Chain A
């Protein structure tokens, strides 16, 4: 890497080669990061047939058609050899190896050609029916509301519960503090797959199955959240708390009037993670929510996957639709994180 890249010297006016290298690196990174996602977006506009085409096309293509009155919509072909070479004709029908074609301008003459001597005329067409089909096929707004409710409520609770724990663990000295912190961290090590069944049995006992709260409650205590917030709160000076205690502020007040606002950057980071986790969560909701009125978007999305076949066109469209809200939230929160981090850096 370039030497001055390592030291972040700012305020110079002339661009040296390290600036070029840095921008080049970032541009390449953006292509790598966004390329696949852009491709996802374009693919979601392809028809089922277009999606499975080898080699894959970049834009959504579809065979061009022409309206031939009472004969309905006919597909267009370009003749590749023989008498009508180079002409664009509409196919009437195909019998064995013979194709019957007509010239759209002179529909009365039927031209017979070998089937192999023609190739389809392709045109760009966005398969918007992938999207409109979603809305007509199922109760999209319901799923959207369910996902949104879980995401918002779980995130608020996560922020509250985790920050309280982080406050307790960073600003109080008590016996068992270290073991409790380690114990909480240790839950990071439990792969979600393995606690699925016991968790389901517990949720059943608590009457949480087929309820949105069944997804929310297990999610509000996150080891990552406690860890991030605790590390951040450790950097806040204890003198602030001492001063507040002198002013006879209650401990709760210290927590939520002093520590919480100061932890805003860390909270913003946790908020965005919580939103992301809950919005995308699949495995646990799949087990705990089995009725369509409580489905979340990822559950609805995955219902396009069967045993033997998957309806990719709908699945991709649904993926894009699911991505939109989280992208918007990210775009908004991202700014706050930036500012939060910047202000934290000035201190």
Chain B
């Protein structure tokens, strides 16, 4: 035993006595609270309390940052966000960028999560085979996850700019250069692509863990019955992988809805508003503009949280049924 592990052991044994004391006094259920308490306390201080302050911000106006200096305006921030002639045409809305953000985010979530889930699954299935140098491949697919979003965006910006690496490659085979970030559809495509590139490894890892947890006997039994491979996949692998798939889906959805840094540095939300997502609107309104309409930003993020909460509840229901 090294001194470090000894020290660690001593420290970790410290709560033993008070816990035993509490155990004598509390019923089993209450003991659960004791374990949850530290985490809950941090959440209360740095998540729940700030959200409560944000709710107050959303109901007040002006540019002051101290809650005490802000005048109460009621639901004005919320209502101004919701004024639209036609909810499907963002340009007809009072806050057009907010609505562009909503629609773009929805589109992004559908494409990004769908594609990323499929690609992660395929990669996990491939990595689950008997592969030469599997450890290396697994690490390689995971590596971009380690990069910070800003670095990811900068790398790809250099690749995609008009005189960038990709167009240089095109030119060397005689193809005409493409203004990747000037065309709305291309810019959107690259936003999806880059975010998948950066995050796929994480989800692949979770799915791979699930695949490897499936006991080998299950597969062996199936191959003895000579089950056709696709049927085997659908009837055995997929159901057993369901818990991991749901984890990936929930986390992927939430991340996609909150997508910001990568795309913001890559495209700045352009061209026009083609890649402006909802969090970028919140950021711009509350932070980047000279006149910080913090109440408006808070109101927008509360609306976003509302939508997300609904989505997640549906997910959790599905998960409980799956589990």
Contacts and interface: CB of A to CB of B under 8 A. Distances in A.
B312 A164 contact: no
Contact of A8 (B16, B29, B219, B243): B219
Contact of A172 (B29, B150, B158): B29
Contacts of B249: none
A251 B15 CA distance: 10
A54 B163 contact: yes
B72 interface: no
Interface stretch (A26-34, A93-101, A132-140): A26-34
A165 interface: yes
A40 B135 CA distance: 23
Given A8-B128, A56-B158, A319 B223 contact: no
B70 to A, nearest CB: 12
Nearest to B311: A189
B147 A323 contact: yes
A45 to B, nearest CB: 14
Contacts of B32: 168-169, 171-174, 177
Contacts of A184: 39-40, 43
Q: Taking chain A's interface residues, is the majority helix, strand, or loop, or is none over half, making it mixed? A: helix
Nearest to B213: A345
A309 interface: no
Contact of B146 (A174, A191, A323): A323
Interface in B258-284: 258, 260, 279, 282-283
A3 interface: yes
Contacts of B139: 330-331, 334
Contacts of B110: none
Contacts of A191: 258, 260, 279, 282, 301, 304
Contacts of A323: 146-147, 151
B232 A180 contact: no
Contact of B137 (A29, A193, A276): A29
Nearest to A327: B146
B54 A194 contact: yes
B212 A6 contact: no
Given A33-B143, A194-B301, A201-B66, A6 B125 contact: yes
A262 interface: no
A56 B42 CA distance: 48
Given A36-B156, A224-B251, A165 B129 contact: no
Contacts of B29: 172-175
B171 A193 contact: no
B309 interface: yes
Contacts of A22: 126, 129, 131
B209 A165 contact: no
A231 B49 contact: no
Interface stretch (A63-71, A73-81, A117-125, A335-343): A335-343
Contacts of B167: 55
B73 interface: no
Contacts of B132: 23
Interface residues of A, number: 99
A7 B205 CA distance: 18
Interface string A177-194: 100101111111111011
Contacts of B308: 189
Contacts of A36: 144, 155-156, 159, 197
A218 B39 CA distance: 10
B186 interface: no
Contacts of A267: none
B171 A55 contact: yes
A164 B38 contact: yes
B233 to A, nearest CB: 4
Contacts of B46: 195, 199, 202, 217-218, 221
B132 to A, nearest CB: 7
A182 B312 CA distance: 10
A219 B229 CA distance: 45
Given A201-B53, A255-B35, A323-B146, A250 B20 contact: yes
A43 B164 CA distance: 13
Q: Which of B38, B138, B294 has the most CB of A within 10 A?
A: B38
Contacts of B129: 5, 8, 10, 19, 22
User: Which of A19, A25, A172 has the most CB atoms of chain B within a 10 A radius of its CB?
Assistant: A172
Given A191-B282, A198-B54, A25 B165 contact: no
Nearest to B18: A252
A33 B140 contact: yes
Nearest to B67: A201
A134 B21 CA distance: 55
Nearest to B145: A276
B19 A251 contact: yes
Interface string A41-62: 0010000000000111000000
A46 to B, nearest CB: 11
Given A194-B301, A335-B135, A344 B148 contact: no
A56 B168 contact: yes
15 contacts: A3-B230, A26-B131, A164-B39, A174-B29, A182-B316, A189-B309, A189-B312, A193-B286, A195-B46, A224-B251, A250-B19, A251-B19, A269-B206, A280-B146, A280-B147
Given A39-B159, A198-B50, A217-B42, 8 more contacts: A7-B219, A7-B223, A7-B229, A186-B305, A218-B42, A221-B42, A298-B148, A341-B208
